[in-house]
Structures are given as C-alpha cells and as structure tokens.
Amino acid sequence: MAGRKPREHTPATPESLCTGTEERIQRLVLRALKHSYGAESALRAAVRLGAREMLEAGASRSAVRHAIARCLVSHPSSLPDKPSLMTGESRASTLLTRMLAWTDDVVPVELTAAAP
C-alpha cells in the first residue's frame, strides 16, 4: 500500500506472541465475530500456532493464555457484544472460551500441572 510503512515483525517471546501471528489472530477474531465462513477453523489453527511459538520461546501456560486472550479482549469489535438469547453469553465470551481451549490443546500436561 502506498504511504503505509510496513510493520516490523518480531518473534514470539515468553510474554508475547509473534507480531505476525498476533495480527493474524486479531483479523480472524473480527471474521469469527461476524460469523464468516471458515473463520473459526482458521482462527483455531492460528491460536494453536501462536501457542506453539510462545511455548518454544519458553512461555508458561498462563502467559500463553493471557497473550491469546489479549488478542480478543483488546479487539475493538468485541465490545459491546449482545448476549445470545439462548445461552445468555456474548459471542466474544463464547469465542474466548474456545480460544483458551484451543490453547490448552497445545500446552503439555506437565506445564498445565505445574502452573498455578
């Protein structure tokens, strides 16, 4: 794009996601909140990738979960969100629960047991 400076991508650290992965998750969050076809499966793959990258960088289970949650919670499109008439939960809340479950799929058992 003309006039737009490319953003420097940084690798994952024990405290944060790789910037490219974080941007991808945030784009997919928007698509998933809009119920775009295939967005949730793509988001699941991106969340798992981000969790693996952070684990390889030495992150704890709680740090991975916090970084993944921050992608949704800090996303401007997730708030305000109307609750479902069926469940009473907002779409963002339901999506966050799924994202954290996908993260837990990647976290080794020994890290889960050792984490508070």
In a domain, 56, yes or no: yes
Top pLDDT among 78 and 83 is at: 83
In a domain, 63, yes or no: yes
In a domain, 100, yes or no: yes
In a domain, 3, yes or no: no
Residues 95-102: what's their mean pLDDT? 93
Q: What is the pLDDT of residue 58?
A: 93
Residue 43, Cβ neighbours under 10 Å: how many?
26
Structural domain count, the chain: 1
pLDDT in tens, 9-64: 788 888 999 999 999 999 999 898 888 899 999 999 999 999 999 999 999 999 99
pLDDT at residue 113 greater than cutoff 60: no
In a domain, 67, yes or no: yes
In a domain, 76, yes or no: yes
Which CB contacts under 8 angstroms, 24+ apart, belong to 98-101? 98/40, 98/44, 99/43, 99/47, 99/68, 99/69, 99/71, 99/72, 100/65, 100/68, 100/69
**36 lies in which domain range?**
19-114
Top pLDDT among 47 and 88 is at: 47
In a domain, 58, yes or no: yes
